[in-house]
C-alpha cells in the first residue's frame, strides 16, 4: 500500500490519501518538498512524518479514501 501526501503551502494544508484515491492525479510531476505537491510513501508512518515535517497547520486525512 502506497500513501500519498498532498502538500499545499498556499492554503497551509497537508492531506493524506491512500493509493488509488480519485483525488490523486494520474500524472504526478516531481516537485520540491518545500514547494509543495504530491509525494508518495511506502507506509503510513512515513507519510504522517512527512506531513509533520511539512509544517502545514492544517493536517488532515482525505474524507474520500479515509486512509
Ligand atoms: Zn483521498
> Could you read off the pLDDT of 48-59 as tens digits, one per residue?
999 999 999 999
Pairing of strands 13-18, 58-61: parallel
Q: Does residue 11 sit within a domain? A: yes
Q: Does residue 46 sit within a domain? A: yes
pLDDT tens for each residue of 10-23: 999 999 999 999 99
Q: Does residue 24 sit within a domain? A: yes
Identify which of 45, 35, 47 has the alpha carbon closest to the alpha carbon of residue 4.
Answer: 47
Domain, as residue range, for 42 = 3-61
Distance 4 CA to ligand 1 centre (A): 8
Distance 18 CA to ligand 1 centre (A): 6
Task: Specify the number of domains making up the chain.
Answer: 1
Q: Report pLDDT for 21.
A: 97
Distance 12 CA to ligand 1 centre (A): 18
Identify which of 36, 34, 27 has the alpha carbon closest to the alpha carbon of residue 6.
Answer: 36
Q: Does residue 67 sit within a domain? A: no
Q: Does residue 57 sit within a domain? A: yes
Stated pTM of the model? 0.92
Q: Does residue 66 sit within a domain? A: no
Amino acid at each position: 500500500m502506497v500513501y500519498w501526501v498532498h502538500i499545499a503551502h498556499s492554503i497551509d494544508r497537508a492531506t493524506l490519501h491512500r493509493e488509488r484515491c480519485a483525488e490523486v492525479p494520474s500524472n504526478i510531476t516531481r516537485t520540491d518538498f518545500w514547494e509543495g505537491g504530491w509525494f508518495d510513501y511506502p507506509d503510513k508512518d512515513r507519510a504522517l512524518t512527512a506531513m509533520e515535517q511539512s509544517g502545514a497547520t492544517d493536517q488532515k486525512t482525505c474524507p474520500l479514501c479515509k486512509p
